[in-house]
């Protein structure tokens, strides 16, 4: 069960490939329980355990795939 849920505004996602790239990179992080992506809203919802990972690590993973996290 995720201890914390955050919504991230992510720019640059345009198709299911992007959704998959974001989901797989974020899911690979230790402590991430769930990743949901809304292409229409440019929204990535991540449930995670803040003792194991951080918003910063999640942001880095998404940006590593070539997308921009708007803060
Ligand atoms: Cu795409």
pLDDT per position as a tens digit, 60-70: 999 999 999 99
As residues whose CB is below 5 A from the ion ligand 1, the structure lists 14-15, 17-18
Which of the listed CATH numbers 3.30.70.100, 3.30.70.20, 3.40.30.10, 3.40.462.20 matches domain 4-70? Answer: 3.30.70.100
Confidence (pLDDT) at 71: 82
Confidence (pLDDT) at 56: 97
Residues forming beta bridges with residue 10, ordered by sequence position: 69
Q: Indicate the pTM of the whole model.
A: 0.94
pLDDT per position as a tens digit, 19-57: 999 999 999 999 999 999 999 999 999 999 999 999 999
Q: What's the gap in Å between 39 CA and the centre of ligand 1?
A: 10
How far is residue 20 from each of residues 23, 38, 50, 65, 71, measured CA to CA in Å?
5, 12, 23, 11, 22
Annotated domain spans of the chain: 4-70
């Amino acid at each position: 069960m995720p201890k914390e849920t955050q919504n991230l505004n992510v720019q640059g996602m345009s198709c299911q490939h992007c959704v998959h790239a974001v989901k797989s990179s974020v899911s690979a992080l230790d402590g991430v329980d769930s990743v949901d992506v809304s292409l229409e809203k440019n929204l990535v919802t991540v449930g995670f355990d803040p003792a194991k990972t951080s918003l910063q690590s999640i942001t880095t993973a998404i940006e590593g795939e070539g997308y921009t996290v708007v803060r």
